[in-house]
A and B are shown apart, each in its own frame.
Chain A
């Protein structure tokens, strides 16, 4: 299987480079990293593992279910709901399902994009932490070297 996956990945990169993505994917290692990140993001199939939806105060998700209601009460409401359910909805079902399918696609893309963002943000945070640790270590090494340099100067 790995042979096939490798071949597919190589062909994809060649195709993108040929179409003008040379700046991004000239280096095969860069392409492989980006490819891996996107594949990982594609594995997300719900919003439940994502941080960004938790932080979005306003509704953001396409509404994927139709909940029929009426502002009236009692038997009038029941009649209206019956007409909506059994007459209007069946008549417009084709349009409803067409829209729903497109909303589902949009929802999937939203989740994948959010997953990509989350992976990139996490990677960025890890790199920042590593850089800070390296800088601190370099600083400590500088301080250790400095006293010796100072004493020789005295």
Chain B
């Protein structure tokens, strides 16, 4: 088949979840199909500034066609529109303008879809909230395969435009059953054919030693948060809940509280706390060692469509403690039995205390998480589902 993949940024250095997902799938699809990635020249998802040269290049077996962004993001206007959209105050025109302002604005890509879209058998689109997908998918809806990466936020809850957009793709590839349910709940009419594919993982490398962690002076037991330290990821609430846990355990004096280790770029001030340690961006070896040796991974985000890092923790046999108000995270836990979820700060405290007092249970939950990854998230399983869905 002749396939195209539409994504806002592309390349080994495009570190976002959708971008990494797209690249991993495009490279694998290219072993059996003729795959072209249609993307921007941007590397920065905030400004969309053109950095990479436009035109054709290749990424291994994948042909990459880059289009110039015709205007960088107007951050002031985008912020104003976001306030209206996310407060359920935006008119239809303002909602459409929000998608345009979110960018990247790629008139060349849209013209390419209009002129040559029919030459592809299927066109896979990643992340519905970006302009190339929102404005491009309707041009080729009869062959469009959408991976929406939908999160239960105000955009989906409030925008009346979303419902009719969701009825257009030929096929859906979802990351979780909860994402499917969310899109189905907003879709005008019946949900088009779909498959729940998730994301693939290779087996974790042989257990890394603690050497990298010892160099950083990390203790044997710690809680791990891995990813961008950001309010949007629930880190502010995590800090509050962790402080509560620390206070309670310290007040009782029966055992020492576990420290919280943060690894990832920091865009939210990290409170000065003797047991919160922020490492910033870490190299791959340190990341693997952190995942291997954490007592549990914490994922406080309310807005996730998959959360690859939860699957990565299970890939290392590490249990997770997740925000139960995020339906896909709660669903992961219920399906895998690989950790605990919390709705309230007090439940976070209870979950951490329970796992630190019941190490055998923590080990068992981690092992169950790994079994779940083996069953559902190995690449051959994921690709077989994708191949079947795009062949329909």
- Contact partner of B84 among A7, A67, A85, CB < 8 A? A67
CA distance in complex: A48, B160 (Å) = 13
Using known A-B contacts A65-B83, A65-B84, A66-B83, determine if residue A7 contacts B157 with beta carbons closer than 8 Å: no
Chain A residues contacting B83 (CB-CB under 8 Å) are: 64-66, 100
A11 beta carbon closer than 8 Å to chain B: yes
- Chain B residues in contact with chain A, CB under 8 A? 76, 80, 83-84, 87-90, 157-158, 333, 340-344, 346-347, 349-351, 354
A73 beta carbon closer than 8 Å to chain B: no
CA distance in complex: A23, B347 (Å) = 25
Q: Are B84 and A8 in contact (CB under 8 A)?
A: no
Q: Can you list 7 A-B contacts (CB < 8 A)?
A: A5-B350, A45-B157, A64-B89, A67-B84, A85-B76, A86-B76, A90-B76
The 7 A-B residue pairs whose C-beta atoms are closest, nearest first, are A64-B87, A65-B87, A4-B350, A65-B89, A8-B350, A65-B83, A65-B84
Q: Are B340 and A1 in contact (CB under 8 A)?
A: yes
CB neighbors of B among A38-63 (8 A): 39, 42, 45-46, 48, 63
Q: Are A67 and B89 in contact (CB under 8 A)?
A: yes
Q: Is the interface of A mostly helix, strand, loop or mixed?
A: helix
A3 beta carbon closer than 8 Å to chain B: yes
Taking the closest CB of chain A, its distance from the CB of B331, in whole angstroms, is 13
Q: Are A4 and B157 in contact (CB under 8 A)?
A: no
Taking the closest CB of chain B, its distance from the CB of A87, in whole angstroms, is 11
A138 beta carbon closer than 8 Å to chain B: no
A-B contact count (CB 8 A): 50
- Given A1-B351, A46-B158, A66-B80, 14 more A-B residue pairs with CB atoms under 8 Å apart are A7-B350, A8-B344, A8-B347, A11-B346, A11-B350, A12-B346, A45-B157, A46-B88, A46-B157, A48-B157, A64-B87, A65-B84, A65-B87, A86-B76
Q: Are B157 and A5 in contact (CB under 8 A)?
A: no
Q: Which residue of B lies closest to A1 (CB)?
A: B340
Q: Are A4 and B87 in contact (CB under 8 A)?
A: no
Q: Which residue of A lies closest to B341 (CB)?
A: A1
Taking the closest CB of chain B, its distance from the CB of A69, in whole angstroms, is 12
Q: Are B89 and A8 in contact (CB under 8 A)?
A: no
Taking the closest CB of chain A, its distance from the CB of B68, in whole angstroms, is 26
Chain B residues contacting A7 (CB-CB under 8 Å) are: 350, 354
CA distance in complex: A46, B185 (Å) = 15
Chain A residues contacting B341 (CB-CB under 8 Å) are: 1
Chain A residues contacting B344 (CB-CB under 8 Å) are: 8
Taking the closest CB of chain B, its distance from the CB of A72, in whole angstroms, is 20
Using known A-B contacts A8-B346, A65-B83, A65-B87, determine if residue A1 contacts B333 with beta carbons closer than 8 Å: yes
CA distance in complex: A67, B340 (Å) = 42
Taking the closest CB of chain B, its distance from the CB of A140, in whole angstroms, is 44
Q: Are B80 and A4 in contact (CB under 8 A)?
A: no
Taking the closest CB of chain A, its distance from the CB of B357, in whole angstroms, is 11
Taking the closest CB of chain A, its distance from the CB of B194, in whole angstroms, is 25
Q: Are A4 and B89 in contact (CB under 8 A)?
A: no
CA distance in complex: A42, B325 (Å) = 10
Chain B residues contacting A65 (CB-CB under 8 Å) are: 83-84, 87, 89-90
Chain B residues contacting A66 (CB-CB under 8 Å) are: 80, 83
B interface footprint on A1-35 (CB within 8 Å = 1, 0 otherwise): 10111011001100000000000000000000000
Q: Which residue of B lies closest to A15 (CB)?
A: B346
Q: Which residue of B lies closest to A93 (CB)?
A: B79
CA distance in complex: A85, B351 (Å) = 46
Chain A residues contacting B347 (CB-CB under 8 Å) are: 4-5, 8
Candidate in A4, A66, A67, A90 with the most chain B CB atoms within 10 angstroms: A4
Taking the closest CB of chain A, its distance from the CB of B195, in whole angstroms, is 28
CA distance in complex: A105, B363 (Å) = 39
Q: Are A4 and B354 in contact (CB under 8 A)?
A: yes
CA distance in complex: A38, B133 (Å) = 40
Chain B residues contacting A4 (CB-CB under 8 Å) are: 340, 342, 347, 350-351, 354
Taking the closest CB of chain A, its distance from the CB of B81, in whole angstroms, is 9
CA distance in complex: A140, B346 (Å) = 52
Chain B residues contacting A85 (CB-CB under 8 Å) are: 76, 80
Chain A residues contacting B346 (CB-CB under 8 Å) are: 8, 11-12
B interface footprint on A60-91 (CB within 8 Å = 1, 0 otherwise): 00011111100000000000000001100010
